[in-house]
Amino acid sequence: MAEPATQLRDLPAPQPAQATTPPPGPAAAPRPSGSFIVVRDRYTIYCDRPIPSLDMPNATAYEVTDRKQEGRAMYALVVRPDMTPRISVMRVLKGLEIAHVLHLVDWGVAEWPPAERKCVIVIYHRPMGGRVMDLKGGVFRRVPDHLFAKNIIKPLTDALNELALRGITHRAIRPDNLYYMDEARTNIVLGDCLTSSPAHDQPVAIEPIESGMSMPSGRGAGNVYDDLYAFGATLLMLSIGRDTLQGVPDDEILRRKVGQGSYATLVDDERPPMTVLECLRGLLADDPEQRWKTENVDLWLAGKRLTPIQAKAEKQARRALRIGDQEFNSLRPLSYALYTNWDKAMSIIADGTLEIWLRRQFDFNEMANAISSAIKTSYDLPGAQKGEADDLIISRILMILDPRAPVRLRNFRVNVDGFGPALAIAMMRKDKLKPFSDFITKELWRYFINAQTKPGPEHQQYEQTFRDLKNYMKDQSTGAGIERCVYELNEWQFCMSPMVADQYVMEVKAILPALDAASKSVNTKMWPVDRHIAAFLRARYAKGTSMQLDSMNDARADRSTIGMLSVLAIVQWRLGPEALYGLTSWVGGLMGPVISSYQNRNKRRELEREIPKFVRKGNLAELYNYLDNPEERQKDAEGFSWSRTEFNAADKQIYDLEHGQFDRQESALRLGRQAGAVCAGGIAFLTLVGCVLSKLF
């Protein structure tokens, strides 16, 4: 398992003019020149030596040297800050040498000078034979037919088997992400699958229909069947020697796949080698239940002839349904046409045309009833505007017509298991978040689950997850809302608070040091606990900070301020570090409402004098205990109560005097009696003393 990313350390890069010659000896490593960083005191990554030929769509490649193993060929991929890399998969693959999978040497988070922030860095063994297909695509050198099964299909099938055994989907299998590890170009490997969210960088032509329909960020980790489809599409292109769909728009590719099937679409006018035809058909079956597994490929490689895959024909209507200038006789092409003609779709839904067509042409009465119910219940939603209700109706009907397709709501298209990464990427890129909130609050996830013909155990888990998310969305207090959702859905998402985002904080124990460092540059009039930090703590450390975060949402300024301090204090007390001078100074300057909450002026002056002493200690817990001392609070409250009583009595006397309601004779009599009693007591005391002294002397 990978070491925590926070253990990566950066060393300052020396200037070339200051470089010195290392002492001779086998342990000595040459000092690099130019701009570089050193991670784990071992790997030198050169910031000024990019390797464009090894770039990924969301990561840039750089040269790397290993101080412990000189001459070891490696390279680093620096991930874009607004991308969600697959940290959980990195933690599994680090150090594992899986045959025919690009070997992950190390990974972590380090300060990256060109970006002036911390980034995820992934270090791989360098493939000396380069890519199988150039990044620009187009025509590339074909593998001879007689070597294709042995040199391409067999090793990559073995790699997929090994990944599947570890519960990992690759989701980045494509011709330009295959490499030859040796210069002779005989050892092929699957390339990087870690530097972006699952399938984010995949062309629509390579992805199954359902995944291709989704927006790239929302495709999800999927399952082994998605990898097998991408494997089949990649093999087809390699066997032909080119991408037959290069330059064809994505919408057109999907329309062709939906209408005529993936195999026919990808083959186009080409003729794949007969030696691999059966394998290609098996892997490119559009129905996952009919698609070949790796076991089928292994049997085929062993020479066993398998039953040819026959695509299951979709039921056809006797009479076509027209949308615009197109006619449709089956459900899936119709569903895709309704989506691509969104603004026209409502016309055949509202007048009942679609419902009648389903009943008369297919006898799909249950489906027609579901559509009728969707229309009625969507308009019955409280506060639903007509435009929003129409969009919701179309979205629900698309799920009914094509349950395997992603949830689609105008330009928002996402598979349920890809919702989390899609939300994180949208938030990092400051895209509109309303479609994401609608997905949760309008329960599009529930309609998707209900539309499935064969719900699996994962759907029950989705339902529980999104039910919780809906509750978070209802709660708009700090620490809840859409911010809470993004951290609950993405286990390794860094904290996106503007105060600490450039420090890539993925663990709770790193949040306070990050805020301490940020105190030098941020506006210290702002609270150090914003919505993102509060949500991050709720999701990652709820048991430790729940009560404190609740108090931070108190409507009273002094209680919310002390609540904010308590959040930070409890984290420092439990997770460290011992001293946070910058953060304590920042927080100390925000304690005005707490100081003002004390009624005693002398106490307020004392607090103003003492707070700097606690700031110099850098201990938030001590500052909190001092400011929120229950005994001092009670003493202040009792003193204030007594003072208020005295003040009210004096105020009443003044009022009585001013309004002639004060009886001077009665007051004089009362004062005289009091004075007489005091004098009598004094005389009695003096008499007693005199008697005692006379007896003694």
CATH number at residue 149: 1.10.510.10
Same domain, 189 and 248: yes
d(CA 22, CA 271): 61
Q: Tell whether 597 is covered by a domain.
A: yes
315 three-class SS: coil
Asked whether residue 617 falls in the same domain as residue 504, the answer is yes
Return the pLDDT at 3.
37
- 430 and 336 in a common domain: yes
Indicate which CATH number applies to the domain containing 90. Answer: 3.30.200.20
Phi/psi at 407 (5° precision): -70, 125
Up-side HSE of residue 108: CA atoms within 13 Å toward CB? 19
- pLDDT for 633: 75
Based on the domain organization, do 56 and 189 belong to the same domain? Answer: no
Are residues 282 and 342 located together in one domain of the fold?
A: no
Residue type, 675: A
Q: Are 321 and 348 in contact (CB under 8 A)?
A: yes
| Listed residues 72, 94, 125: the one ending a domain | 125
Does 641 fall in a domain? no
Indicate whether 41 belongs to any domain: yes
Per the structure, how many domains does the chain have?
Answer: 4
**464, 445 Cβ separation under 8 angstroms:** no
On whether both 387 and 417 belong to a single domain, the answer is yes
Residues 111, 149, single domain; the answer is no
- Same structural domain for residues 537 and 455? no
Q: Are 124 and 102 in contact (CB under 8 A)?
A: yes
How do the residues of the chain divide into helix, strand and coil, expressed in percent and rounded to 5? 55, 10, 35
Is residue 676 in a domain? no
Look at residue 294 and tell me if it is in a domain.
yes
Phi, psi of 623 (to 5 degrees): -60, -45
- CB 538, CB 479: distance < 8 Å: yes
Q: Is residue 667 part of a domain?
A: no
Indicate if 325 and 458 belong to the same structural domain.
Answer: yes
Mark which of 439, 470, 487 sits at the end of a domain: 487
Q: End of a domain among 257, 272, 301?
A: 301
The answer to whether residue 429 sits within a structural domain is: yes
Q: Which residues of 462-488 are buried (b: 16+ CB within 10 A; e: fewer)?
A: bbebbeebbebbeeeebbbbbbbbbbb
Task: Give the domain range for residue 279.
Answer: 145-301
- Blockwise average pLDDT, block size 10, the chain, 697 residues: 38 36 38 74 94 95 93 95 96 92 95 94 95 69 82 95 95 95 93 97 96 96 96 93 89 94 91 90 93 93 77 81 88 94 90 92 92 85 73 94 94 96 97 95 93 85 94 93 97 96 96 96 95 96 88 92 95 94 96 90 90 94 91 75 68 68 63 76 79 73
pLDDT at 630: 82
Q: Is the dihedral of CA 530, 535, 540, 544 positive or negative?
A: positive
Same structural domain, 349 and 465 = yes
The Cα–Cα gap between 343 and 192 comes to 40
Same-domain pairing of 280 and 164: yes
Question: Which pTM was predicted?
Answer: 0.86
- Contacts of 177 by beta carbon, 8 Å cutoff, 6+ apart: 56, 131, 190, 191, 192, 201
Q: Is residue 195 situated within a structural domain?
A: yes
Are residue 501 and residue 482 in the same domain, yes or no?
no
Secondary structure class of 171 (helix, strand, coil): coil
